[in-house]
Amino acid sequence: MAITIYTNDDIKPGAIAGQRIAVIGYGSQGRAHAQNLKDSGHDVVVGVRQGGTGWKHATADGVPTAEPAEAVRGADIIAILTPDMIQNEVYRDIIEPNAKPGAALLFAHGFSIIYDRITPRDDMDVILVAPKGPGDLVRREFARGRGVPSLFAIEKDATGKARDRAMGYAKGIGGATGGLLETSFREETETDLFGEQAVLCGGAKELVMSGFNTLVEAGYQPEIAYFECLHELKLIVDLFYEGGISKMHHFISETAKWGAVASGPRVINDETRARMKTVLTEIQNGTFARNWIAENEAGKPQYAAWLKADSESQIEQTGARLRERMAWLQTAKSEAA
């Protein structure tokens, strides 16, 4: 049975009308959520430290600001959009002692709830709204009158208003315009972590680097290996993104298609899938979370070492030289700055 995709028409009119929304944190998602909610006519205040980067950006964007504790006081919905590893402190020190009875605690990722980093007060609704795109895309599509598909979930409905609050908030950031899908905190958290680790960030990076190293070790020029194993990946990912695997098959050559179906399963095989299942099991049983929390508490030495190794790898050195010749990338950098 196909999942229901909710639209703006499915959301109760005035679902969060008159409710004050405090957005805690003004990074990628916080900035997009706050601006979109404000432009949707909602009463929004951003909780950021006075004089900090977030305060400066929010002020420049014309979004009301306040110190975090002040922003929380009186808010009906409190969106905690800070990094995962500091959310427990933000909740303990700022939200729990200042949130009014019956407020909703809203997350964009369920890590802190699923791994017991935060135990919300009994009187609070606990909800999730997670756009399936980075903050700049969430903002850009909203400004165009469109929206990025989003997930929503209800972990606890203490007030009887949790579902309306989650769906109303999602509508306010453009999520229901893009299409709104219901999930659970556990499903969102575990699938998100798995996707990042096994496919999108971890898996794709290691596949690219392994392909590059295989060619270079076989005597091929690093520059040629870079183009074949990293640069051209964007062309394929764009086809996936626009029309799925079928579109990719349609636009590549017959030879490429034959190689894909004949050799792809030899690279990503039963052994690979077994390792993916291990990664998923460690996410499900909390091993990944415990290791990541411990790494943070130790000052992140292994994390820093691994990132340093990636940044100093041959593929990165080769790519940096080649990208200097790609005028379209330099133009994009100038526009972003």
Q: State the binding site for Mg(2+).
A: 192, 196, 228, 232
Residues 109, 231, 249, 250: which is the catalytic one? 109
Region class of 175: left (phi > 0), else alpha (psi between -120 and 50), else beta: alpha
**Sequence-separated (6 or more) residues with CB below 8 Å from residue 154:** 125, 126, 127, 128, 162, 163, 166
In Å, what is the CA distance from 117 to each residue of 90, 120, 283, 289?
Answer: 11, 10, 15, 10
> Quick check: is 109 catalytic?
yes
Instruction: Could you list the residues known to form a binding site for substrate, using ranges.
Output: 253
Instruction: Could you list the residues known to form a binding site for NADP(+), using ranges.
Output: 26-29, 49, 135
Contact 122, 43 (CB under 8 A): no
Tokens of 239: 């086809």
- Residue 154 pairs in a beta bridge with 127
Amino acid at site 150: S
The closest alpha carbon to 99, from 161, 22, 202, 183, belongs to 22
Tokens of 269: 């095989």
Q: How far apart are the first and last CA of the chain?
A: 46
Tokens of 156: 């606890």
Written as one string, the DSSP assignment of 158-186 is SSS-HHHHHHHHHHHTTHHHH-EEE--HH
Q: DSSP code of 312?
A: T
So which residues are the catalytic ones?
A: 109
